[in-house]
């Protein structure tokens, strides 16, 4: 087993990368999805060409961690994906990549349609914290995924999926309003800047459309999280709550402004998915 390897988590809108060296995350970065045109330019026999694809087709060299610029050794690529079309493209580029399989994730009670990303996040959370754990992933979708310790000794693993919920994330809600409401589409740049840059709770009872949309989205998302967190702590008073995902820091800031007493007990970890990939790889290679 090579000491250096790459983890790729394929999200709904972006690719999330981590470079592992000597058992630790050495670098992380994010790129947009791979295109069919890029795949056609790659010789699948050469992994180095596939690695260079990151530079040639996804992002500029300046955005690739400097430690990867001179990468010359063969390196394992482990992929967890929720986008089948992207999975197929990457299998064309790197035929021998290691693809995360739901059936091999070391958690009990994984139902057939549970997203790979949700399961990997939960596995990563247990890599860092003890059960019971609630993971709130704020990305394209806002997902809540809970896991608990398995009391049944006949179970294969020490952790089990408890359950969860899915709703549209912040960006997806903004996009939906822009696409489905003719009068509001032109307001989206202003609203997006207000929500993501200012990072201040909007006026609840807004007196203009921009403020009303910001209020509706931010207060509804945070209210949902608060309700689930409180219910989680009623069931598991010492349960861990951890936020992750691209909009995780933003969601945490809004939670902290609305309910500082709840936010004080909530953790934030941008690398849960990568820790989950590491735990998955360890399970299969040791």
pLDDT of residue 53: 53
Tokens linked to 277: 């990939």
Last residue of a domain, one of 99, 125, 155: 99
In a domain, 238, yes or no: yes
Contact between residue 1 and residue 278 where contact means Cβ atoms under 8 Å apart: no
Closest CA to 286 of 52, 106, 39: 106
Interval 133-163: pLDDT, tens: 999 999 989 999 999 998 777 777 889 999 9
pLDDT at 179 over 90: no
3-class secondary structure, 154: coil
Share of the chain above pLDDT 70, in %: 82
Pair 157, 150: CB distance under 8 Å:
yes
Are 108 and 95 members of one domain?
no
pLDDT tens per residue across span 9-20 = 998 888 888 888
Can you give the pLDDT at residue 272?
A: 96
If asked whether residues 112 and 220 sit together in one domain, one would say yes
Task: Say how far apart CA 11 and CA 109 lie, in whole Å.
Answer: 23
Sign of the CA dihedral 250, 253, 257, 261? positive
The active-site residue, picked from 56, 70, 76, 117, is: 117
Residues 249 and 265 in one domain: yes
- Note whether 189 and 213 are within 8 A (CB): no
Strand ordering across the sheet containing 76-81: 24-32, 14-21, 4-10, 76-81, 98-99
Of the two residues 242 and 128, the one the predictor is more confident about is: 242
Does 60 lie in the same domain as 182? Answer: no
120-144 as b/e: b if 16+ CB within 10 A: bbbbbbbbbbebbbbbbbbbbbbbb
* Of 54 and 128, the one with more pLDDT: 128
Q: Does residue 88 share a domain with residue 19?
A: yes
Provide the CATH number for the domain around residue 134.
Answer: 3.30.420.40
* Confidence (pLDDT) at 74: 57
Q: Tell me, what's the pLDDT at 45? A: 43
Q: Is the pLDDT of residue 266 over 50?
A: yes
State the residue range of the domain holding 146: 103-274
Q: Report pLDDT for 47.
A: 46
Q: What is the pLDDT of residues 239-255, one digit of tens each?
A: 999 999 999 999 999 99
Q: Indicate whether 147 and 220 sit together in one domain.
A: yes
Say what the pLDDT of residue 270 is: 93
Domain total of the chain: 2
Same domain, 13 and 150: no
Is the model more confident about 66 or about 82?
Answer: 82
Considering the domain architecture, whether residues 131 and 214 belong to the same structural domain is answered as yes
Q: Is residue 279 one of the residues assigned to a domain?
A: no
Looking at the structure, do residues 253 and 139 belong to the same domain, yes or no?
A: yes
pLDDT surpassing 70 at residue 55: no
Q: Which pLDDT does position 44 carry in this prediction?
A: 44
User: Given 71, 99, 127, which residue is the final one in a domain?
Assistant: 99
In a domain, 281, yes or no: no
pLDDT, tens digit, for every residue of 215-233? 999 999 999 999 999 999 9
pLDDT at 2: 58
Task: Indicate whether 86 and 137 sit together in one domain.
Answer: no
Same domain, 95 and 108: no
Domain boundary pick from 50, 77, 99? 99
Q: For residue 185, is pLDDT > 70?
A: no
Residues 262 and 154 in one domain: yes
247 is catalytic: no
């Amino acid at each position: 087993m090579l000491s250096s390897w790459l983890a790729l988590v394929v999200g709904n809108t972006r690719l999330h990368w981590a470079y592992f060296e000597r058992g630790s995350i050495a670098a992380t970065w994010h790129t947009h999805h791979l295109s069919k045109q890029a795949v056609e330019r790659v010789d699948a026999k050469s992994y180095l060409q596939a690695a260079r694809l990151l530079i040639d087709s996804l992002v500029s060299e300046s955005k690739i961690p400097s430690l990867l610029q001179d990468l010359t050794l063969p390196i394992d690529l482990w992929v967890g994906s929720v986008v089948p079309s992207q999975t197929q493209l990457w299998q064309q580029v790197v035929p021998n990549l290691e693809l995360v399989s739901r059936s091999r994730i070391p958690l009990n009670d994984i139902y057939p349609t549970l997203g790979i990303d949700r399961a990997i996040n939960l596995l990563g959370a247990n890599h860092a914290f003890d059960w019971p754990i609630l993971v709130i992933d704020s990305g394209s979708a806002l997902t809540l995924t809970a896991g608990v310790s398995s009391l049944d000794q006949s179970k294969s693993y020490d952790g089990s999926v408890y359950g969860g919920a899915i709703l549209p994330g912040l960006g997806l809600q903004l996009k939906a309003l822009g696409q489905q409401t003719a009068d509001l589409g032109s307001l989206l740049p202003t609203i997006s800047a207000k929500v993501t840059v200012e990072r201040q709770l909007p006026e609840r009872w807004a007196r203009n459309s921009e403020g009303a949309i910001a209020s509706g989205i931010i207060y509804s998302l945070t209210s949902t999280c608060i309700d689930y967190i409180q219910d989680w702590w009623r069931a598991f008073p010492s349960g861990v709550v951890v936020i992750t995902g691209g909009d995780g820091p933003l969601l945490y800031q809004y939670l902290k402004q609305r309910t500082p007493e709840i936010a004080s007990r909530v953790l934030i970890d941008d690398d849960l998915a990568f820790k989950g990939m590491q735990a998955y790889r360890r399970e299969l290679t040791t």
